[in-house]
Amino acid sequence: MSSDHDHHDGDDDHELRVSKIRDGTVIDHVRGGQALNVLAILGIDGTDGEEVSVGMNVPSNRFARKDIVKVEGRELSQDEVDVLSLIAPDATINIVRDYDVVEKHRVERPDVVEGVLSCPNAGCITTGDEPVTSRFTVLEDGVRCSYCERIVREEIASLIDT
Amino acid sequence: MRHDHLITSKQLSRADIETVLDRAAEIDADPSAVADRHANTLLGLLFFEPSTRTKMSFETAMKRLGGDVVDMGSVESSSVKKGETLADTVRVIEGYTDALVLRHPKQGAATMASEFVDVPLLNAGDGAGHHPTQTMLDLYTIRENAGLDDLTIGIMGDLKYGRTVHSLAHALTNFETQQHFISPESLQLPREVVYDLHQQQGGAGIKEHESLEAVLPSLDVLYVTRIQRERFPDENEYQKVAGEYQIDAETLEAASDDLTVMHPLPRVDEIAPEIDDTDYAAYFEQAHNGVPVRMALLDLLLSDDRGIRGETDE
């Protein structure tokens, strides 16, 4: 296996702007400007001492600009990848161990996400004190609350229940 | 297809709807035939919002089937006032009764409540969401007056918050209908409802308008709802549109003689009283139909082979 920055569509020079990681996850091909939302989804705000490198709006062959997030010492779960897909549908997940990429895959949009997003509809039953887990079906261009049926197409990241 | 809860009209097929309406017609023709059919059956009425027609017609329907009701009473006099969740309330009352009727101000309340109970639960209105039993009596009334296929219907008023409108529009996609939605721009159908209507009907039978004038002559049915003054942040904005969405004898001069005018009630000034005694008016008949239709729904949901069964249920 080669080092993680060899796998990114010829964007190597730009990859080097953020440091290589030894073990963890590289989330590549995040749409420009979404890196901080990716961190929010992962619950990373820096207070737990996580080692994180972020590249924002770096030139890319696939997109004009992309973001890259490298998280040291953490391999993303499938649930996390599922939710990530809502705001970074083109992202590539690279699992790195001992500086080598041992797994590489695109995110796939799930049919349903549970307990991750909060409904923005103040009139929705899930916004009260009921013992109910939020549930959204994933549409082609957004998400839909399974309870009040509100469709959200933009700013999905703002619904993340952190 | 089989349903033990009635949450939204979207869950109902044409066959399901016809099963309910046919049963309602049988009961309407001979109510005495079912007078003892559900003796010893107890229906729980959980109304977290005020209601006159819906609540009383459910109560009447259950009693006319030989059963009885227990009523949570007002929110102020219930444990809800102490902070009890809806999930707990329905789980408790489920233990007392054979079925539940729920009205709640929050959208999705019936969907959530149905996840906590095994007895049939009927949604009697969840905020601005759905009101499927109203839709069944609306459909019954429309079928009696104009038929349900080859129908052109105008639905006018507060389409944004009008749960009766949302449920009716969904249900009508099961039939050959052209739906015209007439409202001020600020009270148009929610985009979610439009999305579903397009999914269900390909958008072919759906048009939105701000004025009734152009479509009125083509209508078989005009379904009027109250423009809710309290929804407008500015009284002047309300006054600009309110008059345009009122029906009187002069308005109906441009209508077909066979037009049926409906309203889920209560009305305020949307339909002038001078219409009440004309052949156009079907809104009181519509309200009366609530009893046989709810008797049919309860009968189908409470019978031994519980569930509303469509033709595909084999």
pLDDT single digits (tens) B152-199: 999 999 999 999 999 999 999 999 999 999 999 989 999 999 999 998
In this prediction the ipTM stands at 0.91
* pLDDT over threshold 50, residue A4: no
pTM (predicted TM-score):
0.87
**Model pLDDT, residue A17:** 52
Q: Check if A121 contacts B (Cβ < 8 Å).
A: yes
* pLDDT over threshold 60, residue B313: no
Q: Check if B84 contacts A (Cβ < 8 Å).
A: no
For strand B260-262 and strand B221-224, is the pairing parallel, antiparallel, or unpaired? parallel
CATH number, position B266: 3.40.50.1370
Asked whether residue B275 falls in the same domain as residue B303, the answer is no
Asked whether residue B94 falls in the same domain as residue B148, the answer is no
* pLDDT over threshold 90, residue B70: yes
**Model pLDDT, residue A111:** 92
Asked whether residue B108 falls in the same domain as residue B176, the answer is no
Asked whether residue B89 falls in the same domain as residue B53, the answer is yes
Instruction: Show Cβ contacts of residue B102 under 8 Å, excluding neighbours closer than 6 positions.
Output: B46, B47, B48, B90, B109, B110, B113, B121, B122, B123, B124, B126
How far, in Å, CA of B154 to CA of B140, rounded? 17
Asked whether residue B65 falls in the same domain as residue B34, the answer is yes
Asked whether residue B148 falls in the same domain as residue B276, the answer is yes
| B103 known member of a binding site | yes
Burial of B85 (0-12, 13-18, 19+ CB in 10 A): middle
Residues of B in contact with A131 (CB under 8 A): 85, 87
How far, in Å, CA of B154 to CA of B212, rounded? 8
* pLDDT over threshold 50, residue B37: yes
| B114 φ, ψ (degrees, to nearest 5) | -65, -20
Tens of pLDDT, residue by residue over A54-71, are: 999 998 887 788 999 999
Interchain proximity B108–A125, CB inside 8 Å: yes
How far, in Å, CA of B229 to CA of B238, rounded? 6
Tens of pLDDT, residue by residue over A89-102, are: 889 999 999 999 99
Query: How distant is the alpha carbon of residue A55 from its chain centre?
Result: 14
Residues of A in contact with B85 (CB under 8 A): 128-131
Q: Check if A130 contacts B (Cβ < 8 Å).
A: yes
* A49 band by pLDDT with thresholds 50, 70 and 90: confident
Mean pLDDT score across all residues of chain B: 92
Asked whether residue B62 falls in the same domain as residue B25, the answer is yes
* pLDDT over threshold 90, residue B306: no
Asked whether residue B156 falls in the same domain as residue B273, the answer is yes
Asked whether residue B218 falls in the same domain as residue B168, the answer is yes
Interchain proximity B129–A148, CB inside 8 Å: yes
Set B64, B131, B166, B263: catalytic member? B131
| B221 φ, ψ (degrees, to nearest 5) | -135, 140
Q: Check if A123 contacts B (Cβ < 8 Å).
A: yes
- Could you count the other beta carbons within 10 Å of the beta carbon of residue B127? 21
Active site residue B54: yes
- Could you count the other beta carbons within 10 Å of the beta carbon of residue B130? 29
Asked whether residue B27 falls in the same domain as residue B97, the answer is yes
Residues of A in contact with B87 (CB under 8 A): 130-132
Structural domains of chain B, count: 2
**Can you give the residue range of the structural domain that contains B229?**
133-287
**Model pLDDT, residue B138:** 98
Assigned token pair, B203: 């958008």
* A5 band by pLDDT with thresholds 50, 70 and 90: very low
Asked whether residue B164 falls in the same domain as residue B111, the answer is no
Architecture per CATH, A24-106: 2-Layer Sandwich (3.30)
Asked whether residue B273 falls in the same domain as residue B263, the answer is yes
Domain over A112-159 is classified CATH 2.30.30.20: yes
The residues spanned by each domain of chain A are 24-106, 112-159
Set B10, B53, B91, B288: catalytic member? B53
Respond yes or no on whether the N-terminal peptide bond of residue A89 is cis (omega within 30° of 0). Answer: no
How far, in Å, CA of A54 to CA of A26, rounded? 10
Tens of pLDDT, residue by residue over B273-303, are: 999 999 999 999 999 999 999 999 999 999 8
